[in-house]
Amino acid sequence: MHGAPPCDDVPPHANLAVQVMDRYPQIGTPTLVPLHDLVHEVVAVESDAGRFALKLYRPGVRAESDVRWEAELARHLADHDLGVAAPIPGRHGLVERLDVAGRQRLAVLSEWVPGVKPAPSSTVYSLLGETAALIHEVADGYQPRRPRADTDLETLVRAPVRVMRPLLDDTGAWPYVSALAERLCRYVETSDLEWGVCHHDLTLDNVHLDGGRLRIFDFDSAGPGWRAIEGQGVYSSAAQSGSEHWAAWKRGYRSVRTLRPEDEAAVPYFVLAYEIGNVAWKLGLTETSVGRLVSHTELTATIESWRRWERSHLS
């Protein structure tokens, strides 16, 4: 016969469930199921009131004003029927503070997004382009009560290149990468590009397909920036695979709003701008990094791919 369980055999989120019930009494008694813990931790919350997603922000990564900006943007988009995971107000508004393992964490509870992660197809990418345009269109009416840092060239390119310099010196790639960064910056600075609130991470990882509609979540990277960056991931994958997905994305976008020629021409430049920041993240050098994910050999190969992209896609 088994005896009583030891006193320390307590579910890891038992105390968190009590706090969630206190902050969000309208949902009743919750059951918490951890989903993932990468940049921030996400926990599924299930109760008689339905299913929800609780996002626990990693301490020191986002200021409370940034989290409130993000939650209020999601609320604004949801209020305009964009199929966004709408945040649920707690006792203290859209952003709560919860104690997790002895540390205070900013937290936002959102509706659970129905549907499933879509498989790549021309139809899905057309919907994704349409979704990007709808976000841009509706976000133009968002009047935040607090500022959000711009996703500018310092954030995208210059700061990541600076923190990578020791590793770039080791590989002998510093002269090329630093010069490439300035070429990218000069192009953007001398181009007339549309500026506004963007999702900045609108990939198939951050949407669900629900019937014939995309549902959107994870606005952690959202902020003011150049709208040409929104489609860079689709452009990059389509260019490398030879798929029709970029053409489909553009059709979807243009079904809602104009994609200006100068913005379309800038997209391949933003592919490299995004790649520079992404590699700095994978090297464990940014505030949201989760450790080093690329090796010395992989870094060298990646930089060679940048050379090929510049020769093939940038005028």
* DSSP assignment string, 37-75: ESSSEEEEEEETTEEEEEEEPPTTTS-HHHHHHHHHHHH
CB 88 within 8 A of CB 111: yes
Buried b (16+ CB within 10 A) or exposed e, 59-78: eebbeeebbbbbbbbbbbbb
- Whether the pTM exceeds 0.85: the reply is yes
- pLDDT, tens only, 127-139: 999 999 999 999 9
Give the C-alpha separation, 56 to 44, whole Å: 11
Q: How much of the chain, in percent, has pLDDT values that exceed 70?
A: 96
CB 73 within 8 A of CB 146: no
pLDDT tier, 61 (very low <50, low <70, confident <90, very high otherwise): confident
Give the C-alpha separation, 222 to 216, whole Å: 12
Give the C-alpha separation, 248 to 238, whole Å: 10
Query: For the purposes of burial, counting CB atoms within 10 Å of the CB of 178, is it exposed (0-12), middle (13-18) or buried (19 or more)?
Result: middle
CB 59 within 8 A of CB 46: no
Look at residues 109, 146, 76, 126 and name the one whose alpha carbon lies nearest to residue 243: 126
pLDDT at 215 (0 to 100)? 95
pLDDT tier, 12 (very low <50, low <70, confident <90, very high otherwise): low
Cα dihedral: 236, 240, 244, 247 (round 10): 30
Give the position of tokens 């939650």.
Answer: 71
Give the C-alpha separation, 259 to 28, whole Å: 46
Across 84-93, 180-189, 230-239, 283-292, least confident range: 283-292
Give the C-alpha separation, 137 to 131, whole Å: 10
Give the C-alpha separation, 266 to 259, whole Å: 11
- pLDDT, tens only, 177-192: 999 999 999 999 999 9
CB 57 within 8 A of CB 63: no
Query: Of 3 and 86, which is predicted with more confidence?
Result: 86
Residue type, 251: R
Contacts of 174 (CB under 8 A, 6+ apart): 165, 168
- pLDDT, tens only, 116-161: 999 999 999 999 999 999 999 999 999 998 889 999 999 999 999 9
pLDDT at 167 (0 to 100)? 94
Helices 122-139/245-254 angle, 10° precision:
40
Give the C-alpha separation, 215 to 115, whole Å: 8
Cα dihedral: 212, 216, 222, 224 (round 10): 40
Q: How many CB atoms lie within 10 A of CB 308?
A: 9
| Phi/psi of residue 225, nearest 5 degrees | -170, -175
Mean pLDDT across the stretch 286-308? 89
pLDDT tier, 196 (very low <50, low <70, confident <90, very high otherwise): very high
* Structure token digits, residue 191: 């181009």
- Residue 213 parent element (H or E): strand 213-216
